[in-house]
Structure 1
Amino acid sequence: MRLLLLLLAFLLLLPGPTAEAQRRLRYNKWQLVFLEDFDTYRDVADMAARSPWQFSPDGAPTLVGNRYEDQYYDQAAVSLRDGYAYLTARPLPAPRTYAFQVDGRDTLKQLHFESGWLSLKPGFGANPALGDTARWPGNQGFQYGLFEIRCRFGGGAGTWPAFWLYSGPTEIDVFEGDAGRSYSNNVHDNRNSPARFDQGSEQLPAWQDLSTDFHVFSAVWTPTEVSFYFDRRWQRTVPASRLPTFPAPATVIVNQAVLSYANAATWPVGPDGPYSSLVVDYIKVYKFRGQP
């Protein structure tokens, strides 16, 4: 009997999945170095002039390398109201043809939706005082830290909201969402072909819908690991021993993509027809006080 009691006591001391799932994100060791709460702009034109954000990817109105995306990013699809940024997807009245080149070949893509995108302007740069080391001309953003967004999904089949970091060699998807109750988080190593990635998929309970309330998505990126949090509770960690990240600043991106199989008939309907708005309350970046 005594041996059984000792064994039970030992098992109780072991860190199990339940204990890990209850681990909360703490901020006392982090210093806020970037805050965007959309409270200081008169309108989107003022935001375009004074903010660090641009409204489409560098040099293109869509991500040409992703054949599943069916949206044309435009400043007109971003709006501000009551301290929130709305990235709104809508069906275009007629498909818009976008011409680009792939390996020197002229290519056309038909885009059926307009939507919103925010990413740091190229002039944002890297900040050596924060430990960021630019590795090539135009490298911008933040190298390591705690990255966080508070947002509400727009809902509707085929919507693909995301908050992510991108440096070229490394991509960290703090979340990639869908219509309501599921999302994923990912770490990509793009340095080889084919690229390697580590994905975690999350399914919320039936009573919880990401399009009905705001939630906080966070990722802690250090030289040794990437940890993901939902509403400040730990979900999982990807150690560098399993999938390494590259030590270079990554730009911060939030966007509302639309997939080629989107069904706008399932989207919310407003005065101007079907729409789906990813609503962003804030974006924050923290740096570790001292060495991570």
Structure 2
Amino acid sequence: MVRPISRAIFILTALLAARPASAQEGAELDLAGYRQTFAEEFDSLDVSARGPGTRWIAHTPWNGDFGDAAFTDPRPGFPFTTKDGILTIEMRKGSDGKWRSGLIAATDPQGRGFAQRFGYFEMRAKFPAGEGVWPAFWLVGVDRTTHTSEIDIVEHYGHFPGRYTASVHVWDRKDKSRHRTVHKRVPVPEGSLSAGFHTYGALVDAEFIRFYFDRREVARVPTPPEHNQPMYPLVDLGLGAGWPTERTPNPSTMEVDYVRVWAKDGG
């Protein structure tokens, strides 16, 4: 999510990452021994452009946009609305020909907000359908001194309605040649991510990052040492990711039921 992936790179990394499921994959999530530490039910939305003092801000803390839609400051009715416990993020192409959309992050530029080292992070959401849409739920490490540690729990590229991608990144802030990335392509029934709500989660500990879809494990990646730090959640509806946007539905909406986080008891 720190930078868009070109079409060629995406296809190559997806093919390289594809492999048979391990014996553990497919196991149902067990949160026995965990306690809930964060619950956003979206009965309302406490958000500002960049803080301070709100639960969410509407930009990345480092103020880095990405994709082909600008993430805008919140204003009445756009890009965020809440109704009946559902957050709707709207992406719209204006009369000026420019796309605008929304992002929320749980930590502000001064590091204030919610972040947690290890635990289970989950979002329940319904994605838009259509070419060019790029909804995501992801985590970023608080310490970006030398590296940006990132976990993409779900990135859905609308060009591929039968799958989504889960990824782990270590972005070296001084030497791009030292970037490290693992992509996991997760197959789903075609069109199912836009037909209804699903849960997307990651259980993070010192050994593995385990990815879950509807609380069933679908992939796991060894935890990089750079990810041994507090991480905060972000949710956004992006556009493009290197794919054409000429046929992207205008407007497009992402619906989010909740974002919740658990920590291991005594951890």
Sort the TM-score into its range (normalised by shorter chain): 0.7 to 0.9
1:59 is displaced (CA, Å) by 5.9
1:290 is displaced (CA, Å) by 2.6
Is 2:57 aligned against 1:71? no
Partner of 1:178: 157
Is 2:197 aligned against 1:211? no
Partner of 1:125: 112
Letter of the 1:236 partner, please give it.
Answer: A
Is 2:226 aligned against 1:245? yes
Give the paired residue count.
229
Evaluate the alpha carbon distance shift between residue 172 and residue 17 of structure 1 in structure 2; reply closer, same or farther with a 3 A threshold: closer
1:51 is displaced (CA, Å) by 4.5
Is 2:238 aligned against 1:257? yes
- Distance in 1 (CA, whole Å) between partners of 2:22 and 2:206 is 26
Q: Deviations over 1:73-101 (max 9, x none)?
A: 12221111211011111112114xxxxxx
Evaluate the alpha carbon distance shift between residue 221 and residue 21 of structure 1 in structure 2; reply closer, same or farther with a 3 A threshold: closer
Letter of the 1:157 partner, please give it.
Answer: E
Letter of the 2:101 partner, please give it.
Answer: S
Is 2:137 aligned against 1:163? yes
Is 2:60 aligned against 1:57? yes
Whether the 8 Å CA contact 1:35–1:283 is kept in 2: the answer is: yes
Structure 1 unaligned segments of length 5 or more: list them.
Answer: 1-15, 96-111, 127-139, 268-273
Evaluate the alpha carbon distance shift between residue 236 and residue 18 of structure 1 in structure 2; reply closer, same or farther with a 3 A threshold: closer
Q: Deviations over 1:123-163 (max 9, x none)?
A: 6637xxxxxxxxxxxxx622111000000001111011110
The DSSP-based 3-state class of the residue aligned with 2:192 is coil
The DSSP-based 3-state class of the residue aligned with 1:56 is coil
Whether the 8 Å CA contact 2:58–2:103 is kept in 1: the answer is: yes
Whether the 8 Å CA contact 2:125–2:257 is kept in 1: the answer is: yes
Larger radius of gyration: 1
Letter of the 2:58 partner, please give it.
Answer: F
Higher RCO structure, 1 or 2 (CA under 8 Å, sep 6+): 2
List, as ranges, runs of 4+ consecutive aligned residues in structure 1 with deviation greater than 6 Å: none
Is 2:263 aligned against 1:279? no
Structure 2 unaligned segments of length 5 or more: list them.
Answer: 1-19
Q: Deviations over 1:166-188 (max 9, x none)?
A: 12331000011122332100111
The DSSP-based 3-state class of the residue aligned with 2:206 is coil
Is 2:79 aligned against 1:36? no
Letter of the 1:92 partner, please give it.
Answer: G
Whether the 8 Å CA contact 2:21–2:219 is kept in 1: the answer is: no
- Distance in 2 (CA, whole Å) between partners of 1:280 and 1:37 is 9
- Distance in 1 (CA, whole Å) between partners of 2:149 and 2:236 is 18
Whether the 8 Å CA contact 2:125–2:258 is kept in 1: the answer is: yes
Partner of 1:114: 100
1:205 is displaced (CA, Å) by 2.6
Whether the 8 Å CA contact 1:153–1:210 is kept in 2: the answer is: yes
Partner of 2:215: 232
Evaluate the alpha carbon distance shift between residue 59 and residue 94 of structure 1 in structure 2; reply closer, same or farther with a 3 A threshold: farther
- Distance in 2 (CA, whole Å) between partners of 1:246 and 1:59 is 18
Query: Share of identical aligned residues, percent?
Result: 26
1:246 is displaced (CA, Å) by 3.0
- Distance in 2 (CA, whole Å) between partners of 1:144 and 1:31 is 12
Letter of the 2:168 partner, please give it.
Answer: V
Among 178, 189, 193, the alignment partner of 2:170 is 189
1:237 is displaced (CA, Å) by 1.2
1:263 is displaced (CA, Å) by 3.3
